[in-house]
Structure 1
């Protein structure tokens, strides 16, 4: 009876299962099977990964106990089409900064120019230039060169080396006259004590006493330079007839041109007046019709006479020959000073009595204006 009862119950269960299965649609059955399949696969993969990485429970630990950093997701690079351009943003520049720098430069230049003008006004170089152009004839290029050297040097007080101007030219071109104008001007500006005019014939007439003359000149220069340092002025030494100086005097002058001296000996202006190199100057002017370019040949000739002119600190300045028209101006000036009425016919007659070089259609006086005073005195 019991076995029969169990069979009946089994049959009833199978019948119920069949009935329940028959109630589900084929689509629903397919969904249930897919869900069971993927849930089982996901559970299996998760378990295998946990076992491989050595994870224990909910703690993300590696087998050695060290925490593992999660991997960062790499961003994919954004690619732009080839027909488009990508521009970086430009940084805006502040233009006011450039304006401020430019303004500071202008202020600095104005202050610097004001300082230079104060120094040049102290020596009245503008007045000196006007005087030279008014009273010296036929040397316009030379006067401009001299003024450039003086302006550059006298615009400041502290220097690394003295200024030495060496003026050379034939007889009668105005060397001694230039020296007198320099002495007269700077004596009126800085005083008589700081301007020394030295004539070789007068201060050292005996050739055998050259060493004694050199000692006296060195002492005089030291005294004047010391006085000028106390007054913060630049002294002037105008030395005429340098061609008559013996080697001891030239050696003494050369020693004062060295840069490694006391400060007071660096702030000095020396003016040398000499007829040395007159042959080279005359030949150059007659060949070229101008004094331009005669500096090299003149310095070469002077360097063979004494090492003084080998020093680049010595500015060699050649004076040009005077033309006939310049000699006429000398006659007019001298006749006016002597009180004569300047008759141009008489002046030309006197000018024709002089000897001249002829070159390129020009007449150059061999003796310059040297004989003008003597001829005017005979009137």
Structure 2
């Protein structure tokens, strides 16, 4: 994420009042597991799943008055500055529809939406009501990915030719049942591994390319474990073709161990982001390949809640092609839409010019 951290009187303000829309997502526990910093205050939680509410209340010793079964009522009563969506991906649009007219900023867990049509509506609502809508990706926190982009921008890679992005794990089978129930639902999640992990590569590649959209998207999906995931794919390979660059995204629920890594190859060298802080590189005239461990990103960039609070306060300025920002994440959803269409049809999907695509809300083959 490219942001400028500004200091000033705003940094010493009272905690930012935040509400939560949905707590079935496996990442929703982060909000209560983070260290207390005094920068945010949770003033309301919307959820209709009574079992999950009971678990949350018992685990974090939360009062019943904090919980609401009506999103609009919660927003009107507690009047938060921002709301964080930790429910099914197809409900992100409903959260923005409720929050935007109330001038409440929104942060959702990745990806932004289950369809390009919803993503465009979110963009329209954000512009109309002047709110920020952020999408949180774990890989936005990685100093290794920032290093890759810096090398590219500084010309160390030369002309970018090939990018490989690998994201996945052993599968969500053992995760909390509330999360798995919709993560493996093609409507609520928009797909399986293609959505869950393919979004990382689409997000990072769009950012690396400064917002440029691919010319075409080709995808193949498969069910290696239909006994576990009968409704969605657990394997997806997505190929993004640009005028002179190709990106291969491998998304999987079938790998031995969890991994999130990126490889960028250019005409002058290559850089591999092996994990959050480890990078391997080789440039023109340099032998052999070198490995270095970077420092983690400075505060607040490894804490999405601090980032959200900073954006709301205006002490964090988002760059046009910020990893959290709408432009990159609208294209991310457009790529996922095209990948689903490609996997279903067995054809390469050629993206329409943005104006035509926006009018239809879809990526179609020509």
TM range (shorter): under 0.3
Asked which structure has the greater CA Rg, the reply is 1
Higher relative contact order structure (alpha carbons within 8 Å, sequence separation ≥ 6): 2
Query: Which structure dedicates a bigger proportion of its chain to strand?
Result: 2
TM-score (norm 2): 0.27
